[in-house]
Structure 1
Amino acid sequence: MVQAKQNLEAQPDLPRTPRVTYRAASPAAVLAEDGILAVFGFGAGAPDDDDPRYLPVPLESFDAPAPLEAWHVEAEVERGRQDAVHWSAGGSWLFASVTLDERQTGGIEGAAYQAYAQLQRFMRARTGHRVLRMWNYLADINRGEEDAERYKQFCDGRSSGLGDFFARGFPAATAIGHHLREPLLQVYLLACTDEGMAVENPRQVSAWQYPRQYGRTSPGFARGMLMPMRDALAISGTAAVVGHASTHAHDLDAQLDETLLNLESLLATADMPAGFDTHSPLKAYVRHPTDAARVRETLQQRLPGVPVLLMHGDICRRELLVEIDGWRYR
């Protein structure tokens, strides 16, 4: 995988990255706007809508009412369904999602296999589209011990379902545990007809090179992805990991400090401006609801004015308390 340190200037002939915003509105109102590629609602109270561009995400927000997340492109958008895959496409951009119930797949490994097998078949049929960013939400992510931990089983099933689809390199990605009663696996992606550039963090071992202690199958993702026009960086789930090891176990403040250091290191490696601004939305996933106020306070102090959606979610390692992902636009 190439680290981004070359050819980083904006490419005027390439498509502009979808603009990601958080909105206080109804799904129907946002979906009626021009150029809407995808809309996400959050938590048990998320409204219903049968538009394939709309996805209710099984993560509760600590904001009430929870805002919507909207992806906007500068093009007309078409949409449809193919088997379990819901999709939309506009200009050079493609959104696709799959939601499966583990009770119908024999567990999380089977669900991951089926979800990724369906997505890779769908993507192979979309000639020329390259997956740049993925999100994965699953129930009880830390349940089980050693290789029987559900996150590790998810990684096994994901790898089997993908086959050699990411042989050219991994996309940026997030994997978070939700608390919905139903054992749903939700996977969605952003793809483009033009290539991005994967970015690795020099403070961290690349995820696909993790040692055996993290499972039979190493997590397959890049730490970040520069979009084709180099106008934005998609940031993978980032936590207090240095090298390949978790740091500051169960110390929230120290983990937040380390996570923010990792984010700054990633921005510098990608040759992006330091820090975040009002146009660069983030999500913070917090394991314990009692920590949410402290996380909000810290991020408001350290990242003033930055839109942060605070979510109740379990990080893939049980000793980690918080994880942050999102976007940095130039």
Structure 2
Amino acid sequence: MVQASEHLQVEPGLPRTPRVTYRMTDLKAALAEPGVLAVFGFGAGAPGSDDPRWLRVALESFDAPAPLELWQVDGEVTCGRDDVVRWSSGGSWLFAVIELDERECGGTEGAARKAYAALRQFMSTRGERNVLRIWNYIGDINEGDNDAERYKQFCDGRAAGLGDFFAEGFPAATAIGHHHHSRVLQIYLLASTDAGTAVENPRQVSAWRYPRQYGRTSPGFARAMVMPAQDALAISGTAAVVGHASTHEGDLEAQLNETLTNLEALLTTAGMPAGFDTHSPLKVYVRLPTDAPRVRDILQRRLPGVPVLLMHGDVCRSELLVEIDGWCFA
């Protein structure tokens, strides 16, 4: 865990963190740009491609048309497929993605177990073995009661598939529910030849120490990750949680303000300057479509000029209305 410190000092000689941008551009043109490690589109309106670097995320954007998200590295990029894993690598960085139909895996838990076992096996063959950041998109994440809730089943399956892979520490991560008609589990990651430094939020209980009420298996993720060169902070999905409890149930604006307070606490703990700027792309997941305009207005006031992609997504706790993840670059 990183403790509060002076501002981060960029480490020379280590690979620069991939540049993350949102762009209104053509997919073919985006894939042709130098150093493109990955390109993401959002929702049913996103174009199709069989390029391993491309992923159509099963989340709809409240912005129409939605921009593409690009990751770019310094260096030549190669890409391919390894069984069910698609991947690309370049400049000491690795992007890997897996998509599984739950109906072919016995449900949520089975799909998570199979996906994470496959990713663990794939990562064992790579030089970029330091997994720094993971995204999980799960259909109908809050369906089911108590331990039968789909998110809790996902956590059980993820832990079973991983085994002791993250025994030395968890990466930053996001888990959000989508509304696609098919229950596809989408998981993608960013890894490096070099290790990052996990960051915890002093306002929150670490996710892997959650009490039993949150499921048989505690979520396995760090609240954020300082990238190897100390030039960026990858921020996990962050919501209105204080200690281990959700706060401000039913109050959208109070939840959003609490979330922004948690983000600032992460920046402080990581030794980053306060606030987000025009080079700090964020994703904001909103449970209720009717809340999206209000969320946009609040964020434009609180975070002027910050690139924000507003998505229709369900937070892993049904009482939480909004969650934010993203990047802050030094």
Structure 1 length as normaliser, TM-score? 0.98
SS of 1:121's equivalent? Answer: helix
Cα distance in 2 for partners of 1:250, 1:326 equals 24
Query: Which residue of structure 2 lines up, in the alignment, with residue 295 of structure 1?
Result: 295
Cα distance in 1 for partners of 2:259, 2:2 equals 22
Query: Which residue of structure 1 lines up, in the alignment, with residue 278 of structure 2?
Result: 278
Cα distance in 1 for partners of 2:231, 2:54 equals 25
* 1:145-224 mapped onto 2 (5 Å cutoff): 145-224=145-224
Cα distance in 2 for partners of 1:153, 1:288 equals 24
Cα distance in 1 for partners of 2:237, 2:302 equals 18
Q: Output one character per residue of 1:115-160: Cα deviation in whole Å (capped at 9) or x when no partner.
A: 1000010001113520000000010100001100000000000000
Query: Which residue of structure 1 lines up, in the alignment, with residue 94 of structure 2?
Result: 94
Q: What is the CA-CA distance between 1:4 and the residue it aligns to? A: 6.4
CA pair 107-3 structure 1, distance change in 2 beyond 3 A: farther
| Deviating 4+ runs (over 6 angstroms) | none
Q: Output one character per residue of 1:89-136: Cα deviation in whole Å (capped at 9) or x when no partner.
A: 001100000000001000000000011000010001113520000000
Q: Residue type of the partner of 1:214? A: Y
Query: Which residue of structure 2 lines up, in the alignment, with residue 75 of structure 1?
Result: 75
Query: Which residue of structure 2 lines up, in the alignment, with residue 269 of structure 1?
Result: 269
Q: Residue type of the partner of 1:116? A: Y
CA pair 307-2 structure 1, distance change in 2 beyond 3 A: closer
Q: Output one character per residue of 1:242-296: Cα deviation in whole Å (capped at 9) or x when no partner.
A: 0000000121000011000000000000010100000010000000000000000
Cα distance in 1 for partners of 2:243, 2:83 equals 40
SS of 1:125's equivalent? Answer: coil
CA pair 83-4 structure 1, distance change in 2 beyond 3 A: farther
Query: Which residue of structure 2 lines up, in the alignment, with residue 257 of structure 1?
Result: 257
Q: Residue type of the partner of 2:49? A: D
Query: Which residue of structure 1 lines up, in the alignment, with residue 25 of structure 2?
Result: 25
Q: Does 1:144 align with 2:144?
A: yes
CA pair 159-4 structure 1, distance change in 2 beyond 3 A: farther
Q: Residue type of the partner of 1:95? A: F
Structure 1 unaligned residues grouped into runs of 5+: none
Cα distance in 1 for partners of 2:173, 2:281 equals 16
SS of 2:28's equivalent? Answer: helix
SS of 1:46's equivalent? Answer: coil
8 A Cα contact 2:2 2:198, kept in partner: yes
Q: Output one character per residue of 1:289-329: Cα deviation in whole Å (capped at 9) or x when no partner.
A: 00000000000000000000000000000000000000000
8 A Cα contact 2:7 2:272, kept in partner: no
Q: Residue type of the partner of 1:309? A: L
8 A Cα contact 1:3 1:198, kept in partner: no
8 A Cα contact 1:4 1:198, kept in partner: no
8 A Cα contact 1:43 1:59, kept in partner: yes
SS of 1:111's equivalent? Answer: helix
Q: What is the CA-CA distance between 1:8 and the residue it aligns to? A: 3.9
SS of 2:20's equivalent? Answer: strand
Query: Which residue of structure 2 lines up, in the alignment, with residue 59 of structure 1?
Result: 59
**What RMSD over aligned residues (CA atoms) do the two structures have, in Å?**
1.1
Query: Which residue of structure 2 lines up, in the alignment, with residue 115 of structure 1?
Result: 115
Structure 2 length as normaliser, TM-score? 0.98
Q: What is the CA-CA distance between 1:5 and the residue it aligns to? A: 4.2
Query: Which residue of structure 2 lines up, in the alignment, with residue 236 of structure 1?
Result: 236
Query: Which residue of structure 2 lines up, in the alignment, with residue 43 of structure 1?
Result: 43
Cα distance in 1 for partners of 2:306, 2:43 equals 22
8 A Cα contact 1:96 1:190, kept in partner: yes
8 A Cα contact 2:2 2:269, kept in partner: no
Q: Residue type of the partner of 1:35? A: G
* 1:6-21 mapped onto 2 (5 Å cutoff): 8-21=8-21
Cα distance in 2 for partners of 1:2, 1:157 equals 29
Q: Among the aligned pairs, what percent are the same residue?
A: 73
